């Protein structure tokens, strides 16, 4: 569980104060019900006289004078009427979450009978009422408990409110909240003070003996000596805005021997009036409370508003019954900051959990207590302080942001779908276009969830760990229950989108246009330049910005070295104890930051390196030019990229070649420069690459020839060594080679071709394809633009898929080494598949030579 430490509070209207004034004046007495001094003998005082004196035959019973004979008769009558009805309820069956009953011991039963007898004389005798309240608390306020019924039945109907508190009866015992709705209880803003982070909180207990005697007030202190905590952590829990968790073993026999069986009403110190502290009542949620059917409704309905709150709790009860001993195992203070104002907290609450042992297990054979054996585990006691806030406004904003991101994602998909249809739809809705649209849809859905998961996680991580001033309050980490569902959904969609894109990228066709074949003086056995180009293409088929082994190594090292579970350490105080909580929301935020930072770093490094030493894609275009070979890469039947390598200067040096190409570019005929329809392709030394848009008829003819050639080659390519096929297959592909030469040959007039050296700004910015009528179009692009048709174009989608996979595995296994290993295995298989498909593609076109393949 993860709790935020950034707090905003709200102010409330002035209300009458409950002041713990312990010193009373002359003819005054201290009321145990309202914790204040009242005049002796006042009508609605209902407390004992200042100096109780009884005259014979009356005697003092508790705090009242009664006739001894009448009292004995009434007590006998009460005994007769209650002997079968008085039972101890809420013995908890931990397996079935049910409560059952047993009998009180003789001492408790006799006190109950005496208290009821006294209350028949004076309905608000304080000690007797408080005793019934204690027994009721020991019964965990069971609705079937007669003690609870009697503790409240002697009260008047609530027609007035004590100190203007909605649930405190006027001049009466405040034991339970009559309303079962959390909203009604906690919307009563009774706290006036401003609780900014760092303020010291004082929790005060009104103490009662088991017999019901009021023992005064006690400030809550935590005995950390036995828990072996450092001295400086003893009072961490008192500092508002700082979570505290304590867990230690307590010897139950030590508690029974040295700790009294007191009962407590908790209060929070709000402010001071003069020299007196103002105490506000704190609701108590007993997780062992049972309804009429014996169901532990507070435990079952925890997190809902249908809960039963009371005002009293105890540390240990070994006096009520001879059958069981029960003790407190968890005490949690919860502070909730207001959602409407900036400086106040709402009414805090306390959650208590108990554990019950049969006395036969704990007692020794002798009357004296002995220490527990190791086989009977010593109970663990936990003390927690939790800071909460009504985060409705936060989640409302989160829902709005999610809706906006979702709508934006749909717009992006609509845009990419329009661009794809414009680019590839000229040949009809084929399989490639359908898969492209499906892949884009899945990718955009995945992107929406990635942005939400990474965005919220990074936001949470940033403000949880890095803000020095309290600017933002964050919800519990456990409130991000959607995180697992969102990150799993993001991974599934991104993985499916990546698989589709991977199949499409590896299915692109690669055509070689060997211009040397038109020269009859060229020996056909000299196919080395074709193999060289094919080999270079094979090498760039898996080029990407990032190095996955390096990325995973850095991520794993950071994960192991930083010990992310310590990130849940409370802030803003750096001296607080580490909680050791495995904070999932922080983990995802941290991993998102690391993965994104590494991607940006590797991208910038690669860009800089390629700027200095030339990118492999640019090198490939230069090799094509030097080998007098052009390359056509098609992703669909009507779209592709063309790398023009035609030159008659293959025997010249590269310097002469560049000069020759530059001269041809600068001496282009004027009439051709002004023409929009031409087929003479000039070589620009900055770029000899073009994005091609085939008109449907030309596309059909190209792929008819290719399919015919593929049918001739058949499956025989995979039955022989690849190197022996080059000579055989070069003739088979000559028809396709000649057809493509005719299309790209200078001066050819058989095809209509528009060559665009300048692309309109709107098309360049939005990536729009031109409108194809009866002419094919070649758009001049940069020398590396074709890289997006290769594995390079998949790298971002795949990278975030890997990061999601790593996060999911590490979240559940809590082992970054295993997560990193699995990601590397997946990446290895992906690269293996890409290389296999590329080799297969080249083999079909007789472009493999073993000695050229690395």
Give the mean pLDDT of 245-252: 70
Rounded-to-integer distance, Cα 497 and Cα 508, Å:
17
Q: How far apart are CA 365 and CA 369, in angstroms?
A: 9
Q: Write out the two tokens for 190.
A: 């009774």
The most confident of the ranges 84-88, 518-522, 745-749, 766-770 is: 766-770
Task: With CA atoms as reference, report the closest residue to 784 among 597, 549, 545, 598.
Answer: 545
Look at residue 590 and tell me whether its pLDDT is greater than 80.
Answer: yes
Of 167-171, 309-313, 465-469, 646-650, the poorest mean pLDDT is in: 646-650
Q: Is the pLDDT of residue 317 over 80?
A: yes
What pLDDT, on the 0 to 100 scale, is given for residue 122?
75
Domain tally, the chain: 2
Burial 46-55 (b: 16+ CB within 10 A, else e): bbbeeeeeee
pLDDT at 666: 45
- Distance, in Å, from the CA atom of 394 to the CA atom of 507, rounded to the nearest integer, reads 47
> What pLDDT sits at residue 540?
92
Would 681 be classed as within a structural domain? Answer: yes
Residue at 578 is within a domain: no
Nearest to 448 by CA among 419, 496, 487, 415: 487
pLDDT one-digit tens code per residue, 50-63: 656 777 777 777 66
What pLDDT is attached to residue 707? Answer: 74
Burial class (CB in 10 A: 0-12, 13-18, 19+), 219: exposed
Domain limits for position 712:
628-789
Which residue did the predictor score with more confidence, 182 or 836?
836
What is the per-residue pLDDT for 180?
64
Retrieve residue 449's tokens.
């969830």
Q: Is the pLDDT of residue 1 over 80?
A: no
Q: Which of 112-126, 130-144, 340-354, 522-536 has the lowest mean pLDDT?
A: 522-536
Q: Give percent above pLDDT 70 in the chain.
A: 70
Q: Give dist(CA 656, CA 649) in Å, integer.
A: 8
What confidence category does residue 664 fall into, taking pLDDT thresholds of 50, 70 and 90?
very low
Q: Is the pLDDT assigned to residue 12 strictly greater than 70? A: no
Distance separating alpha carbons of residues 822 and 818, to the nearest angstrom? 6
The reply to whether the predicted model has a pTM over 0.75 is no
pLDDT of res. 718: 46
- Which of 237-251, 527-541, 798-812 has maximum average pLDDT? 798-812
Name residues whose C-beta falls within 8 Å of residue 527's C-beta, 6 or more positions apart in sequence: 726, 727, 730
Which of 86-95, 338-347, 585-594 has the weakest average pLDDT?
Answer: 86-95
The token duo for 506 is: 């590896």
pLDDT at residue 504 is higher than 90: yes
Where does the pLDDT of residue 548 fall: very low under 50, low under 70, confident under 90, or very high at 90 and above?
A: very high
Residue 586 near residue 477, CB atoms below 8 Å: yes
In a domain, 7, yes or no: no
DSSP secondary structure code for residue 319 in this structure: S
Q: How far apart are CA 373 and CA 371, in angstroms?
A: 6
Q: What is the pLDDT of residue 137?
A: 92
pLDDT, one tens digit per residue, over 226-245 is: 666 665 566 777 777 777 77
Indicate the pLDDT class of residue 326, thresholds 50, 70 and 90.
confident
Pairing state of beta strands 316-317 and 324-337? antiparallel
Judge whether residue 446 has pLDDT over 90: yes
Q: What is the pLDDT of residue 232?
A: 59
Q: Which of 166-180, 354-368, 404-418, 767-781 has the lowest mean pLDDT?
A: 354-368
* 521/41 Cα distance (integer angstroms): 131
In a domain, 373, yes or no: yes
Q: What is the pLDDT of residue 225?
A: 61
Q: What is the pLDDT of residue 100?
A: 60
For 841, counting Cβ atoms within 10 Å of its Cβ (0-12 exposed, 13-18 middle, 19+ buried), the class is buried
In a domain, 483, yes or no: no
**Dist CA 296 CA 299 (whole Å):** 5
Contact of 71 with 293, CB cutoff 8 Å: no
pLDDT of residue 240: 76
**Up-side HSE of residue 730: CA atoms within 13 Å toward CB?**
20
Q: What is the mean pLDDT of the chain?
A: 75
User: Comparing C-alpha atoms, which of 370, 593, 336, 670 is closest to residue 473?
Assistant: 336
- Flag whether 560 is in a domain: no
| Segment of 126-140, 294-308, 462-476, 735-749 carrying the highest mean pLDDT | 126-140
Domain boundary among 771, 789, 807: 789
Indicate whether 472 pLDDT > 90: no
DSSP code, position 542: T
Q: Which is nearest to 271 in space by CA: 343, 338, 336, 320?
A: 343
pLDDT score, position 566: 57
In a domain, 249, yes or no: yes
Nearest to 847 by CA among 742, 739, 743, 736: 736
| Whether the predicted pLDDT of 557 surpasses 50 | yes
What's the Rg (C-alpha) of the chain?
42
Per-residue confidence band for 461, with pLDDT thresholds at 50, 70 and 90: confident
CA–CA separation, 476 and 649 (whole Å) = 71
Length of the chain: 854
Provide the pLDDT for residue 654.
Answer: 36
pLDDT in tens, 351-364: 998 888 777 766 54
User: At which residue do the structure tokens 């330049």 appear?
Assistant: 529
- Name the strand (E) or helix (H) holding 738: helix 734-744
pLDDT, mean of residues 450-460: 88
Question: Taking the mean position of all CA atoms in its chain, how far away is CA 665?
Answer: 59
| Residue 478: pLDDT over 70 | no
Which position has the higher pLDDT, 136 or 29?
136
In a domain, residue 733? The reply is: yes
SS3 341: coil
**Comparison of pLDDT for 266 and 121, the residue scoring more:** 266
∠ at Cα 788 (785, 789), nearest 5°? 110
pLDDT at 231: 57
Boundary residue ending a domain (759, 789, 819): 789
- Residue 674: pLDDT band (50, 70, 90) is very low
| Res 732: pLDDT | 63
Residue 522 confidence class, pLDDT cut points 50, 70, 90: very low
pLDDT at 602: 95
Above 70 in pLDDT, residue 730? no
Reported confidence tier of residue 779, pLDDT bands at 50, 70, 90 = confident
pLDDT category at 134 given cuts 50, 70, 90 is very high
Per the CB < 8 A criterion, the answer to whether 385 and 244 are in contact is yes
Residue with the larger pLDDT of the pair 654 and 472:
472
Last residue of a domain, one of 789, 816, 839: 789
- Write out pLDDT tens, residues 342-388: 567 888 889 998 888 777 766 543 334 344 443 445 567 788 887 77
DSSP state letter for 588 = H
For the segment 527-554, the average pLDDT, to the nearest whole number, is 89
Name the one residue in this structure whose structure tokens are 């700790």.
Answer: 259
């Amino acid at each position: 569980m993860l709790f935020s430490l950034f707090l905003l509070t709200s102010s409330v209207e002035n209300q009458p104060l409950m002041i713990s004034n312990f010193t009373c004046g002359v003819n005054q007495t201290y009321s145990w019900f309202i914790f204040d001094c009242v005049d002796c003998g006042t009508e609605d005082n209902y407390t004992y006289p200042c100096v109780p004196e009884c005259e014979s035959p009356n005697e003092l019973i508790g705090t009242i004078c009664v006739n001894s004979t009448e009292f004995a008769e009434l007590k006998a009558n009460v005994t007769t009427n209650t002997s079968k009805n008085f039972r101890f309820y809420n013995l908890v069956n931990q397996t079935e979450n049910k409560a059952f009953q047993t009998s009180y011991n003789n001492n408790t039963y006799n006190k109950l009978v005496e208290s009821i007898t006294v209350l028949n004389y004076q309905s608000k005798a304080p000690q007797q009422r408080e005793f019934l309240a204690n027994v009721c608390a020991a019964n965990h306020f069971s609705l079937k408990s007669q003690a609870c019924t009697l503790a409240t039945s002697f009260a008047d109907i609530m027609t007035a409110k004590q100190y203007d508190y909605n649930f405190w009866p006027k001049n009466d015992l405040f034991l339970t909240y009559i309303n079962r709705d959390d909203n009604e209880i906690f919307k009563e803003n009774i706290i006036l003070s401003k609780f900014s982070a760092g303020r010291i909180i004082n929790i005060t207990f009104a103490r009662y003996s088991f017999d019901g005697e009021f023992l005064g007030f006690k400030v809550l202190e935590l005995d950390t000596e036995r828990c072996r905590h450092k001295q400086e952590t003893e009072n961490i829990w008192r500092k508002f805005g700082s979570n505290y968790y304590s867990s230690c073993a307590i010897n139950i026999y030590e508690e029974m021997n040295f700790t009294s069986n007191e009962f407590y009403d908790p209060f929070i110190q709000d402010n001071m009036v003069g020299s007196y502290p103002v105490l506000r009542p704190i609701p108590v949620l007993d997780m062992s409370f049972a309804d009429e059917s014996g169901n532990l409704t507070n435990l079952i309905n925890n997190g809902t508003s249908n809960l039963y709150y009371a005002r009293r709790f105890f540390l240990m009860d070994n006096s009520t019954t001879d059958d069981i001993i029960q003790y407190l195992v968890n005490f949690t203070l919860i502070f909730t900051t207001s959602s409407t104002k900036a400086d106040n907290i709402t009414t805090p609450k306390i959650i208590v959990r108990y554990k019950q042992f049969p006395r036969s297990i704990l007692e020794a054979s002798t009357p004296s207590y002995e220490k527990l054996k190791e086989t009977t585990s010593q109970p663990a006691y936990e003390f927690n302080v939790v800071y909460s806030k009504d985060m409705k406004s936060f989640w409302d904003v989160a829902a709005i942001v999610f809706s906006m991101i979702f709508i934006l994602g749909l717009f992006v998909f609509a845009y990419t779908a329009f661009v794809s249809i414009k680019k590839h739809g000229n040949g009809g809705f084929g399989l490639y276009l359908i898969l492209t649209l499906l892949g884009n849809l899945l990718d955009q859905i995945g992107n929406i969830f990635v942005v939400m998961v990474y965005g919220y996680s990074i936001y949470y991580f940033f403000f949880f760990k890095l803000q020095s001033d309290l600017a933002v309050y964050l919800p519990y980490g456990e409130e991000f229950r959607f995180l697992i569902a969102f990150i799993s959904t993001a991974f599934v969609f991104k993985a499916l989108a990546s698989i589709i894109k991977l199949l499409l990228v590896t299915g692109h066709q690669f055509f070689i246009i060997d211009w040397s074949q038109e020269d009859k003086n060229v020996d056909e056995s000299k196919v080395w330049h074709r193999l060289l180009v094919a080999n270079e293409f094979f090498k760039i088929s898996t080029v990407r910005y990032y190095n996955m082994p390096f990325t995973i190594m850095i991520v794993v090292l950071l994960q192991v070295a930083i010990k992310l579970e310590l990130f849940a350490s409370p802030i803003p105080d750096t001296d607080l104890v580490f909680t050791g909580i495995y904070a999932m929301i922080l983990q995802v935020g941290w991993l998102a930051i690391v993965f994104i930072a590494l991607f940006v770093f590797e991208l910038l490094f690669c860009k800089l390196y390629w700027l200095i030493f030339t990118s492999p894609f640019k090198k490939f275009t230069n090799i094509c030019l030097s080998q007098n070979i052009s390359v056509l890469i098609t992703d669909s039947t009507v779209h592709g990229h063309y790398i023009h390598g035609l030159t008659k200067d293959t025997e010249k040096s590269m310097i002469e070649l560049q000069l020759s190409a530059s001269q041809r570019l600068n001496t282009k005929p004027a009439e051709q420069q002004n023409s929009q329809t031409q087929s003479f392709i000039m070589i620009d030394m900055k770029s000899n690459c073009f994005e091609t848009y085939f008109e449907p008829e030309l596309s059909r003819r190209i792929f008819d020839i290719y399919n015919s050639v593929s049918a001739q080659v058949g499956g025989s390519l995979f039955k022989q060594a690849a190197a022996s096929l080059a000579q055989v297959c070069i003739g088979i592909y000559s028809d396709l080679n000649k057809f493509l030469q005719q299309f790209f040959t200078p001066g050819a007039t058989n095809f209509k071709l528009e060559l665009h050296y300048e692309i309109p700004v709107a098309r360049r910015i939005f990536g729009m394809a031109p409108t194809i009528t009866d002419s094919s179009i070649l758009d001049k692009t940069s020398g590396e633009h074709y890289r997006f048709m290769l594995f390079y174009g998949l790298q971002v989608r795949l990278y975030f898929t890997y990061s999601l996979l790593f996060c999911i595995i590490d979240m559940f296994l809590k082992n970054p080494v295993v997560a990193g290993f699995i990601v590397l295995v997946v990446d290895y298989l992906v690269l293996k598949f890409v290389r296999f498909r590329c080799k297969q593609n080249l083999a079909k076109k007789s472009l493999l030579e073993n000695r050229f393949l690395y």
